[in-house]
Structure 1
Amino acid sequence: MSVRQTGLAGVLEIQPQKHGDERGSFCEVFNAEDFARHGITTTFVQDNHSVSRQRGVMRGLHYQLRPFAQAKLVRVVRGSIFDVAADIHPASPTFGRWVGVELSAERWNQLLVPAGYAHGFVTLEPDTEVIYKVSRPYSREHERAVRFDDPRLAIDWPVDASEMQLSEKDRLAPTLDASDLTQVLEEEA
């Protein structure tokens, strides 16, 4: 597999090696030993699977507070997304910066988002399916969100906001400046 650094510490684009022949293809999308050789030692405890029926479905920007802050390993098994990680560590030199990567079933690429980053995506095709591993279980009590269109973040989404479909929770999410970020950073897993 190949690992590409993005502009934010710990946020990595991972490209597993895909093997194919006339029957189809095979790929190890996660192998703990291979990941460890690249310095990725996160323990994943849960897999999530989302299905979005239309282009422009926005999910995020989500994060969880300690002790349930989640690292995520995100991949697309059908369709494509624009996947974003935003640095919400108040003491970080890159606080308020974001990176975006197009993930697709065609490319088989993945994005590793460390604990303590806000994460979200918008679908670029109808009937898009996303599977992602998380390092901590979901906790409603610790769940938080930042507005996807926060002017401070100024994320350059490839879908116009007027075309996006959001949950009510995401539509009402606070801005980064209005968020309580005192419990964002999770200790190393």
Structure 2
Amino acid sequence: MSLRILRTDIPDVLILEPKVFGDDRGFFFESFNIKQFEEATGLTETFVQDNHSRSSHNVLRGLHYQIRHPQGKLVRVVAGSVFDVAVDLRKSSPTFGKWVGATLSAQNKRQLWVPAGFAHGFLVTSDSAEFLYKTTDYWHAEDERSIAWDDADLNITWPISGRPILSTKDSQSPTFRKATDLYS
């Protein structure tokens, strides 16, 4: 199998490591193969949308989620590096309110599976980063919500000193407690 799965502290969030074939000419790997994904993870997901973003150093995007149309996300970095975070918002889960983080980079070629029912965000740790993600549902602007990146209850250990660069929307995000009171 050319896909290795690494478990995180939240069992449903997975790190995927593809087998990379490289020599002095460069490298090759399958960035996505549904059969290998299903065999390696035991998941049967349908991806309906691919997204691509580029951000500068210290840009933090998130923590985003959708309420009526939760999205599972398979995320990866094709240029640069990010610290990627998933926060469990599933109230019935034993890991509700817990987070996991992983470094994703063009160099390590790792991918992170973030299941539906999680908030997701990332911090660019290189000069810039290009971030790709597949989603299991479409983006619905009216359903999108966010949680403050620096929420005291979540206590995420972002690898940054000082404040990140945030969008206006992300700088006005509510706390985890306020956000999850509204989340069903």
TM norm. shorter chain > 0.5:
yes
1:126 Cα offset (Å)? 1.3
Give the whole-Å Cα distance in 2 for the aligned partners of 1:106 and 1:59: 21
Structure 1 stretch 36-45 or stretch 164-173: which is displaced more? 36-45
What amino acid maps onto 2:37 in structure 1?
A: F
What amino acid maps onto 1:100 in structure 2?
A: G
Give the whole-Å Cα distance in 1 for the aligned partners of 2:24 and 2:104: 25
Partner of 1:146: 147
* Counterpart secondary structure, 2:77: strand
Q: How many residues align?
A: 181
What amino acid maps onto 2:39 in structure 1?
A: R
Give the whole-Å Cα distance in 1 for the aligned partners of 2:108 and 2:55: 19
Question: 2:46 matched to 1:43?
Answer: yes
1:29 Cα offset (Å)? 1.0
Give the whole-Å Cα distance in 2 for the aligned partners of 1:97 and 1:76: 23
1:93 Cα offset (Å)? 1.4
What amino acid maps onto 1:88 in structure 2?
A: L
Partner of 1:8: 10
1:182 Cα offset (Å)? 5.8
Partner of 2:90: 89
Give the whole-Å Cα distance in 2 for the aligned partners of 1:179 and 1:110: 27
* Counterpart secondary structure, 2:35: helix
* Counterpart secondary structure, 2:100: strand
Give the whole-Å Cα distance in 2 for the aligned partners of 1:14 and 1:180: 28
Unaligned runs of 5+ in 1: 185-189
1:95 Cα offset (Å)? 1.2
Structure 1 stretch 43-52 or stretch 18-27: which is displaced more? 18-27
Give the whole-Å Cα distance in 1 for the aligned partners of 2:107 and 2:180: 38
What amino acid maps onto 1:179 in structure 2?
A: A
Give the whole-Å Cα distance in 2 for the aligned partners of 1:100 and 1:110: 12
Give the whole-Å Cα distance in 2 for the aligned partners of 1:145 and 1:23: 43
TM-score after normalising by structure 2:
0.94
* Counterpart secondary structure, 1:93: coil
Unaligned runs of 5+ in 2: none
What amino acid maps onto 1:40 in structure 2?
A: L
* Counterpart secondary structure, 1:115: coil
What amino acid maps onto 1:48 in structure 2?
A: N
Partner of 1:128: 129
- Distance verdict in 2 for CA 1:4–1:154, change over 3 Å: same
Give the whole-Å Cα distance in 2 for the aligned partners of 1:163 and 1:151: 15
Identity %, equivalent residues = 47
1:52 Cα offset (Å)? 0.7
- Point out 4+ residue stretches in structure 1 off by more than 4 angstroms: 180-184
What amino acid maps onto 2:148 in structure 1?
A: R
Partner of 2:111: 110
